[in-house]
């Protein structure tokens, strides 16, 4: 383990490499470009490949190909690039290709404000691909967590044969912080299940009890079939209702049933709290400062911070906030995750505090907005 | 322990490098935690460069990214002092480059005025190391970070051909006693 002073973008790149990243494909976009540049400068010397493609569509498809070729692969982009990747993301979901997509949120719609942050893509990363599916989305609040959650994202991707989104933003991306960097030997690294024999390798979509099929990859001696159409366990096109239903239910359930593997949240000062702020990502930082300030003023505030956004864990959210009287959901958008929190928490009044601020709302702005409801 | 440090200069004055040297020194060569953010404009346009650093000795104390009440501040120009003075705490130690005009100051501040830029030009033949003189002075007067940690960090951050002159400038700052 070594300590360094790096940005969240670099921390994510380091975490990905520690987890075993071997292939990165991307197209430059602010505020994700420096993650790409950093990997281009270091990954080749670790025998990995970094490639720039003509756009984000080609990039994510190259990443899917690399994943099917048996290596750990990643791309990084921002909202506009993610829009282009959405079709490919669906392909990764239905072909069950383990990979990581890093989305560094900036201000949209469209090209918006490229260098500034909001938290406006929390639905985009979950719902923008068509069809029936579920996808894990992890959200760091510091450079250290950029490293830690990059490792976790790869481990989930490999364990569940699924794309995973790591959702950061422009402010976090370029904040410099102390990060404890661990090597591959110092962290837990998960690798995808492989077919045990040729017979098993004939069924690239036949799940085991955990709903996850072992993955035969190119070049390993299996006749690999990768099918984007609805398919049976052999990977053969099967448009009938039974096969389709079975497939998409499994795609959803292998994620939702493994909630404990994916979900994480943290509580601060919630033991005796009457009020709680719910926040995630960069906004959780000033929210934490605001909670401490409220405490100094005598208000019993706590902070409940989401480290995973999707799949949404209704039960953990409801349990964590069950003793709270008023819950304030503070986010840097028009109030998106508020709907999920309000749906889950029946025991308290849940109030949306949408604070759109290109620089991340400062603690004072949060305090002022929340105080109106006290 | 929690210390907030704010530095502002113009493009080309090495404010970002100063911030990076301090941040790395703390993160890598001491047990401190640190959060740093920077904003800058193009050197040719003379836009503001600003660095916010927050040092703590526990992770729990790190929260918001930006300085709200600086304990230590460095201003290379008077207009930046006016622009950012609301972010400087009442008990702050304030370092100002007196090569340029200085406006009214807050009486509760502990103020050091040194012509860092002129001094760099006179003693080391180039104004570009004014940042390192200021850094040495800040370390001497505040004890914010261990001297050796800063030296290690300078050697790591600064381009090779600038290391020796930057170290000289840093030591010059450490010796300042106004």
Closest CB to B27: pick one of A4, A285, A292.
A4
Closest CB to B34: pick one of A5, A292, A363.
A5
Closest CB to A288: pick one of B35, B63, B68.
B63
Give the residue-averaged pLDDT of A329-351: 97
Q: Say how far residue B133 (Cα) sits from the centre of its chain.
A: 9
Task: Decide: residue A323, CB within 10 A, 0-12 exposed, 13-18 middle, 19+ buried.
Answer: middle
Give the residue-averaged pLDDT of A277-291: 98
What pLDDT is stored for residue B44 in this prediction?
Answer: 67
Contact status of A366 with chain B (Cβ, < 8 Å):
no
Nearest CA in chain B to A4: B28
What pLDDT is stored for residue B42 in this prediction?
Answer: 67
- Nearest chain A CA: its distance from B177 CA (Å): 31
The backbone torsions φ and ψ at residue B25, rounded to the nearest 5 degrees and listed phi first, read: -55, -45
At residue A310, does pLDDT exceed 80? yes
Interface of B with A (CB under 8 A): 20, 23-24, 26-28, 32-38, 62-66, 68
Tell me the longest C-alpha to C-alpha distance in chain A.
Answer: 67
Listed in sequence order, the residues at least 6 apart from A169 whose beta carbon sits closer than 8 Å to its beta carbon are A31, A104, A105, A106, A117, A118, A119, A281, A282, A332
At residue A52, does pLDDT exceed 80? yes
Contact list in A for residue B63 (CB cut-off 8 A) is 285-286, 288-289, 292, 363
Q: Is A178 in contact with B63 (Cβ distance < 8 A)?
A: no
Contact assessment for residue B49 and residue B15, using Cβ atoms and an 8 Å cutoff: yes
Contact list in B for residue A285 (CB cut-off 8 A) is 62-65
Listed in sequence order, the residues at least 6 apart from A13 whose beta carbon sits closer than 8 Å to its beta carbon are A35, A38, A39, A42, A150
A5: which 2 tokens?
């002073």
Closest CB to B63: pick one of A4, A175, A289.
A289
pLDDT, one tens digit per residue, over A94-126 is 999 999 999 999 999 999 999 899 999 999 999
Closest CB to B33: pick one of A178, A285, A362.
A178
Task: Please give the share of chain A, as a percent, with pLDDT higher than 70.
Answer: 100
- The complex scores an ipTM of 0.93
Encode A215-231 in three state secondary structure: CCCCCCCCCCCCCCCCE
Cis, peptide link before residue A51, omega less than 30° from 0: no
What pLDDT is stored for residue B43 in this prediction?
Answer: 63
What pLDDT is stored for residue B77 in this prediction?
Answer: 87
The DSSP element (H or E) to which A241 belongs, if any, is helix A241-256
- Nearest chain A CA: its distance from B123 CA (Å): 32
Q: Is B66 in contact with A362 (Cβ distance < 8 A)?
A: yes
Q: Is B34 in contact with A178 (Cβ distance < 8 A)?
A: yes
What pLDDT is stored for residue B104 in this prediction?
Answer: 73
At residue A212, does pLDDT exceed 70? yes
The end-to-end CA distance of chain A, in Å, is 45
Contact list in A for residue B66 (CB cut-off 8 A) is 362
Q: Is B64 in contact with A363 (Cβ distance < 8 A)?
A: yes
What pLDDT is stored for residue B81 in this prediction?
Answer: 87
Closest CB to B35: pick one of A177, A292, A363.
A177
Q: What is the dihedral of CA A15, A18, A20, A26, to 10 degrees?
A: 40
**DSSP structural state of residue A122:** T
What pLDDT is stored for residue A41 in this prediction?
Answer: 98
Range scoring the smallest mean pLDDT among A272-281, A334-343, B95-104 = B95-104
The pLDDT mean for chain A works out to: 97
Q: What is the dihedral of CA B4, B9, B14, B19, to 10 degrees?
A: 10
Higher pLDDT, B11 or A306: A306
pTM: predicted TM-score of the whole model, two decimal places: 0.96
- Nearest chain A CA: its distance from B153 CA (Å): 11
Contact status of A68 with chain B (Cβ, < 8 Å):
no
Contact list in A for residue B62 (CB cut-off 8 A) is 142, 177, 285
- Strands (E) across B24-171 are located at 33-39, 48-56, 70-75, 88-97, 110-114
What pLDDT is stored for residue A229 in this prediction?
Answer: 98
Number of Cβ within 10 Å of residue B61's Cβ equals 15
Q: Is A175 in contact with B27 (Cβ distance < 8 A)?
A: no
Rg, C-alpha atoms of chain A: 21
Closest CB to B35: pick one of A3, A175, A363.
A175
- Nearest chain A CA: its distance from B46 CA (Å): 20
At residue A272, does pLDDT exceed 70? yes
Contact status of A3 with chain B (Cβ, < 8 Å):
yes
What residue spans define the domains of chain B? 2-174
Nearest CA in chain A to B32: A178
Residues of chain B with pLDDT under 50: none
- Nearest chain B CA: its distance from A364 CA (Å): 10
At residue A200, does pLDDT exceed 80? yes
Listed in sequence order, the residues at least 6 apart from A20 whose beta carbon sits closer than 8 Å to its beta carbon are A72, A154, A184, A189, A191
- Nearest chain B CA: its distance from A363 CA (Å): 7
Contact status of A358 with chain B (Cβ, < 8 Å):
no
Residue A117 C-beta-side C-alpha neighbours within 13 Å: 22
The CA-based angle B3-B4-B10, given to 5 degrees, is: 145
Q: Is B64 in contact with A362 (Cβ distance < 8 A)?
A: yes
Interface contacts A/B by beta carbons within 8 Å = 63
Q: Is A4 in contact with B37 (Cβ distance < 8 A)?
A: no
Closest CB to A292: pick one of B20, B33, B63.
B63
What pLDDT is stored for residue B100 in this prediction?
Answer: 73
Contact assessment for residue B130 and residue B112, using Cβ atoms and an 8 Å cutoff: no
Contact status of A283 with chain B (Cβ, < 8 Å):
no
Contact list in B for residue A178 (CB cut-off 8 A) is 26-28, 32-34
Q: Is A176 in contact with B35 (Cβ distance < 8 A)?
A: yes
- Strands (E) across chain B are located at 2-10, 33-39, 48-56, 70-75, 88-97, 110-114
At residue A85, does pLDDT exceed 90? yes
Contact list in B for residue A142 (CB cut-off 8 A) is 62
A348: which 2 tokens?
């308290």
User: Would you state the CATH architecture of domain B2-174?
Assistant: 3-Layer(aba) Sandwich (3.40)
A143/A146 Cα distance (integer angstroms)? 5
């Amino acid at each position: 383990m070594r300590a360094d002073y790096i940005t969240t973008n670099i921390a994510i790149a380091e975490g990905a490499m520690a987890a075993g990243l071997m292939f990165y494909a991307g197209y430059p976009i602010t505020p994700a470009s420096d993650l790409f540049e950093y990997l281009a400068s270091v990954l080749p010397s670790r025998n990995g490949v970094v490639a720039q493609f003509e756009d984000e569509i080609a990039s994510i498809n190259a990443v899917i190909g690399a994943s099917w070729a048996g290596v750990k692969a990643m791309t990084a982009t921002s909202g506009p690039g993610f829009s282009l990747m959405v079709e490919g993301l669906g392909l990764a979901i239905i072909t069950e290709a383990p990979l990581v997509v890093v989305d560094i949120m900036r201000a949209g719609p469209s090209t918006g404000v490229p260098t500034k942050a909001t938290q406006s893509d929390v639905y985009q990363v979950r719902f923008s691909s068509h069809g029936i599916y579920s996808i894990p989305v992890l959200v760091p609040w510091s450079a250290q967590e950029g490293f830690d959650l990059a490792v976790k994202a790869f481990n989930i991707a490999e364990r569940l044969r699924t794309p995973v989104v790591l959702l950061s933003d422009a402010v976090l991306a370029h904040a410099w912080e102390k990060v404890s960097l661990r090597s591959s030997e110092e962290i837990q690294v998960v690798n995808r299940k492989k077919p045990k024999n040729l017979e098993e390798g004939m069924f690239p979509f036949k799940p085991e009890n955990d709903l996850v099929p072992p993955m035969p990859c190119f070049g390993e001696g299996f006749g690999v079939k990768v099918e984007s159409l609805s398919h049976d366990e052999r990977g053969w096109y099967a448009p009938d209702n039974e096969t389709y239903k079975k497939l998409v239910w499994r795609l959803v359930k292998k994620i939702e049933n493994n909630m404990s593997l994916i979900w994480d949240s943290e509580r601060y000062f919630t033991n005796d709290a009457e009020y709680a702020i719910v926040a995630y990502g960069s906004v959780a930082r000033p929210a934490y400062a605001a909670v401490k300030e409220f405490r100094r003023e005598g208000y019993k505030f706590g902070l409940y911070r989401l480290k995973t956004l999707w799949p949404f864990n209704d039960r953990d959210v409801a349990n964590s906030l069950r003793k709270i009287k008023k819950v304030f959901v503070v986010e840097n958008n028009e109030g998106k995750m508020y709907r999920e929190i309000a749906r889950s928490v029946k025991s308290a009044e849940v109030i949306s505090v949408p604070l759109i601020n290109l620089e991340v709302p400062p603690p004072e702005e949060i305090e002022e907005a929340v105080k109106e409801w006290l | 322990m929690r210390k907030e440090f704010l530095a502002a200069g113009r493009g080309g004055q090495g404010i970002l490098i100063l911030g990076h040297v301090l941040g790395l020194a703390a993160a890598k060569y001491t047990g401190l935690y640190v959060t740093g953010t920077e904003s800058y404009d193009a050197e040719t346009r003379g836009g503001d460069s600003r660095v916010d650093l927050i040092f703590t000795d526990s992770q729990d104390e790190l929260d918001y990214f930006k300085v709200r009440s600086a304990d230590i501040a460095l201003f290379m120009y008077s207009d930046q002092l006016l622009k950012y003075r609301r972010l400087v705490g009442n008990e702050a130690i304030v370092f100002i480059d007196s090569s340029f005009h200085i406006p009214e100051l807050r009486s509760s501040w502990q103020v050091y005025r040194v012509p860092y830029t002129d001094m760099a030009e006179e003693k080391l033949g180039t104004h570009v190391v004014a940042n390192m003189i200021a850094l040495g002075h800040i370390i001497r007067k505040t004890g914010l970070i261990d001297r050796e940690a800063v030296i290690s960090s300078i050697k790591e951050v600064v381009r090779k051909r600038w290391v020796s002159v930057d170290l000289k400038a840093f030591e010059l700052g450490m010796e300042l006693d106004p």
